[in-house]
Structure 1
């Protein structure tokens, strides 16, 4: 069936797609590396974001071209899967596209280019794993801190040494039984005020941005028993469409008293089960709050459900979803147990199992040595518990924009160190791995067992890898040609030598403008991040290069008008 619309096909389509992708790569390239520049992004409502984080930049800008959107999705995938290297993967993909398109324009069939790229990435991955990786253990504090410091070096962060320690300590604290380090178990709170050096890791628990319902409640609870509710402690509303018409004022008062009585009865169920702290995603009615004050129970309302899930991981227990979870079985009703006594016992057991425990729960005022920001900001701290699954980091700073960028830096560092801990492998940074791959593929491209047309693709893939050290040097205002030539010479010597030499660890020193041993200098990156970047960039490049026909369909209104 013929589709009405504008159709474009042939090499011009591929060239247009490649140009769009390369343009997107050039946007983020100037923000790449430790000396890259920041981008200011202003939204339609005037919100300002200042960052050099690739994923953040691409998620904020409005990209219209379909091929360029492939790179935006690529950046998002890298951010989700790895957490770091988002700018790297976009730059690599755009360079692979540019050089691949040049080969196709020179007469090489797209299939040969794509198969050559796949062969190249397979060889590059194997080479990195066998020849470039170094081993690390969880006890190697200095190495892990260097990985975190390298990740944060590209961000505008004032004290990378301090924050790298926070990152390493937090990940060590949340290691689970399967040997994984779930970054989502390090929630990051942002509090404006004070200096960034006043940021802290809650080493023995969690902090959440919630406050007690009443100042008359105890602000410190020892041996806390915590009930977590995903509903409001308020009188239940009538179902939609249900109305009660009352003509007698006494009847109205009786209904209200009955509602309050039912609410108090259900609140009492929680306190009778041992709860002395109640956290809820909804509100707490004045009647229930007065009861809690009377009984010395801390009540906290409007908690974020994600925070409550974190608390459950540390304290045990379960989230109670509705008032029905608080209602005891009534004799004569239907229940799953054989007898009423068994049903009542099951109810008590389940309710007791829903109550979590912690050493202490306290509402505390954030302290600061500065006078900038909200000095009266309070947080709820839940310390101790049966497990140590979650640890909070509180970030401080003079402005929201500064704290937002610090959060992005810390998140990227957490992801980088996590990958190193889980794989126990890392590689030197500063363009070291990419240059080594480039030299390796250059040598492999003359292998006679490979199809000559694929040899050209292997060589192009190797040349594309050099875009990383070139942009690093360019953004540092150094002579990229001279530095990359010197770096290539080191890696050529390393790969010609017998055995392992220090030359394999050489990368760029962007401050002094020389090549150096980046393993000894502490410029380290996760091996997993490099491998994922290569694979994702290659697949994205192949996806775009495969397209040779674009049809822009007309909308139904246009089709009807033409008919």
Structure 2
């Protein structure tokens, strides 16, 4: 009798698992992520303190930041990290929401997997349900007229309400009115399609958060300065600015090269040549008419005193990102040589000044015509607080940007999720078979958002959901969990959140649903995992082999 020979395909030490148990294992890993993020959702959500291997402390409730810092290693759970990052890059807000939705969809599908229903049937039902949900959002969304006037008071108020909702769960919620004006002004200055690189973030420890300033232009910390710097003027109106990438100091070539001289006068000629070269550069800059000279490379003491004697301000070692933003705002090039610098190569800003902010001195370039860059000078008592302030402002910026480019909004606070849940349940009643059960499970998963909001506020989530289902059945489509300051927490806190101006960009909800369903379907479609341990640890296979041999040895 011929026996089938054993064929070894995978390297020794490879871990392979498959089947229904593998899908359930992946779902359980994602539910662990959900348990971590749930307490952070909503205005009354809590923050998480994370300490990394270098003992660096981060305090945040931003979903994308938490997932990035948790250093997730499970292959399936990493998909949730990816969708949170994608949501953060695309919309800027809703990273916790998209992760919770994806995890809840997997949780609802777990019962079907255990009942041996094919994951492909579940995926088909989820994809059909999300199409209905997106169509319903587009039908329900509130849009302003196509002709948007950014100076219109009503339109500005709409942007402020969206920014305020984005800030409701952030550290700056208590000063939302102060920061919403700042964020809306920043976005209106930048335009609806601004490049995030055109936003500068400067941290200045000390003071309170309300001492944060928005500079409609470029601001950077005072650079390293040489003797003569204090003699330079620190205030100009309508100055000409030149941006360089040139080193303006004596090179001292005697330290960098070997020179053989026959007489002493030759050495003096070399020294004089070095001085002649740098003076030619400085004279060329002065001839251009520039009053503010900036360079990414050092500007030495000779050049500093030279400019001071002629009433010119200079700064060397300017950070490249700040120099790039300034050159873009002034519409000038960064020159790598001074030989071609002309008066036409200088940009003009309305006001330049060096001012004291906290314990630091900052150079401010403002009143730039048609500027497309802004700088946030952020204040706070602790480094962790300022870092969270930056994340909060960035989220609000992205939300207002999306609202400005696509000014359609829906009510937040779980209102849109409850309305979508009702819509999908009604549709599910019209179809037979397993798809009906799967679509009802999808509708049930959407309720995780209002349920979590209520739980984090210390409310009875069961009673809240019952009330919301009742209101939505009556046609109150914008009823959600009311966590505003005037809400009555002794009673069931539900209300019309569209009237209370708790608004979110419709695009944010559409992206959250699409991303959550795509992630859930991807995880459900994987029923086998192959992990090569030896790739991560070259000694793992050898150690396993030696352990196997050791078990057979006599004691």
So what's the TM-score if we normalise by structure 1? 0.86
Question: How far is the alpha carbon of 1:392 from its aligned partner?
Answer: 2.3
Q: 1:244 aligns with which of 250, 258, 262?
A: 258
Take 2:72 and 2:306, find their aligned partners in 1: how far apart are those partners? 55
In the alignment, what sits opposite 2:437? Answer: 456
Take 1:558 and 1:39, find their aligned partners in 2: how far apart are those partners? 35
Q: 1:289 aligns with which of 291, 301, 304?
A: 304
Q: 1:425 to 1:236 in 2, by over 3 A?
A: farther
In the alignment, what sits opposite 1:482? Answer: 463
Question: How far is the alpha carbon of 1:71 from its aligned partner?
Answer: 0.9
Q: 2:430 aligns with which of 421, 432, 447?
A: 447
In the alignment, what sits opposite 2:420? Answer: 437
Q: 2:59 aligns with which of 37, 42, 50?
A: 50
In the alignment, what sits opposite 1:499? Answer: none
Q: Is the 8 A contact 2:24 2:113 kept in 1?
A: no
Q: Is the 8 A contact 2:140 2:410 kept in 1?
A: no
Where 1:381 maps in the other structure, the secondary structure is: strand
In the alignment, what sits opposite 1:199? Answer: 212
Take 1:127 and 1:42, find their aligned partners in 2: how far apart are those partners? 42
Deviates more, 1:208-217 or 1:20-29: 208-217
In the alignment, what sits opposite 1:167? Answer: 183
Take 2:264 and 2:73, find their aligned partners in 1: how far apart are those partners? 63
In the alignment, what sits opposite 2:287? Answer: 272
Q: 1:249 to 1:376 in 2, by over 3 A?
A: farther
Q: 1:124 to 1:218 in 2, by over 3 A?
A: same
In the alignment, what sits opposite 2:551? Answer: none
Question: How far is the alpha carbon of 1:388 from its aligned partner?
Answer: 1.9
Question: How far is the alpha carbon of 1:262 from its aligned partner?
Answer: 1.6
Q: How does 1:287-326 map to 2 (within 5 A)?
A: 287-320=302-335, 322=336, 325-326=337-338
Take 1:249 and 1:520, find their aligned partners in 2: how far apart are those partners? 88
Q: Is the 8 A contact 1:7 1:552 kept in 2?
A: yes
Deviates more, 1:164-173 or 1:212-221: 212-221
- Find out whether 1:228 has 2:243 as its counterpart: yes
Q: 2:479 aligns with which of 501, 506, 509?
A: 506
In the alignment, what sits opposite 2:105? Answer: 96
Q: Is the 8 A contact 1:260 1:287 kept in 2?
A: no
Q: 1:287 to 1:545 in 2, by over 3 A?
A: same
In the alignment, what sits opposite 2:376? Answer: 393
In the alignment, what sits opposite 1:150? Answer: 165
Q: 1:31 aligns with which of 23, 26, 40?
A: 40
Q: 1:542 to 1:235 in 2, by over 3 A?
A: farther
Take 1:14 and 1:253, find their aligned partners in 2: how far apart are those partners? 81
Take 2:142 and 2:116, find their aligned partners in 1: how far apart are those partners? 38
Q: 1:76 aligns with which of 85, 101, 106?
A: 85
Where 2:231 maps in the other structure, the secondary structure is: coil
Question: How far is the alpha carbon of 1:231 from its aligned partner?
Answer: 4.2
Q: Is the 8 A contact 1:15 1:101 kept in 2?
A: yes
Question: How far is the alpha carbon of 1:250 from its aligned partner?
Answer: 5.7
- Find out whether 1:542 has 2:525 as its counterpart: no
In the alignment, what sits opposite 1:424? Answer: 407
Superposed CA offset, 1:359-385 (max 9, x none): 22111112xxxxxxxx43111111223
The list of structure 1 runs, each at least 4 consecutive aligned residues, that deviate by more than 6 angstroms after superposition, is none
Question: How far is the alpha carbon of 1:17 from its aligned partner?
Answer: 1.0
Q: 1:212 to 1:354 in 2, by over 3 A?
A: farther
Question: How far is the alpha carbon of 1:76 from its aligned partner?
Answer: 1.1
Take 2:338 and 2:272, find their aligned partners in 1: how far apart are those partners? 19
Q: 2:362 aligns with which of 367, 379, 389?
A: 379
Q: 1:133 to 1:454 in 2, by over 3 A?
A: farther
Where 1:160 maps in the other structure, the secondary structure is: helix
Q: Is the 8 A contact 2:141 2:408 kept in 1?
A: no
In the alignment, what sits opposite 1:370? Answer: none
Q: Is the 8 A contact 2:209 2:379 kept in 1?
A: yes
Deviates more, 1:435-444 or 1:300-309: 300-309
Take 1:478 and 1:232, find their aligned partners in 2: how far apart are those partners? 64
Q: Is the 8 A contact 1:315 1:387 kept in 2?
A: no
Take 2:109 and 2:247, find their aligned partners in 1: how far apart are those partners? 59
Superposed CA offset, 1:240-276 (max 9, x none): 9x84244677655543442332223223222212222
Q: 1:471 to 1:249 in 2, by over 3 A?
A: farther
Q: 1:489 to 1:181 in 2, by over 3 A?
A: farther
Question: How far is the alpha carbon of 1:235 from its aligned partner?
Answer: 4.4
Q: Is the 8 A contact 1:358 1:383 kept in 2?
A: yes
* Equivalent pairs, count: 516
Q: Is the 8 A contact 1:230 1:280 kept in 2?
A: yes
Take 1:458 and 1:466, find their aligned partners in 2: how far apart are those partners? 13
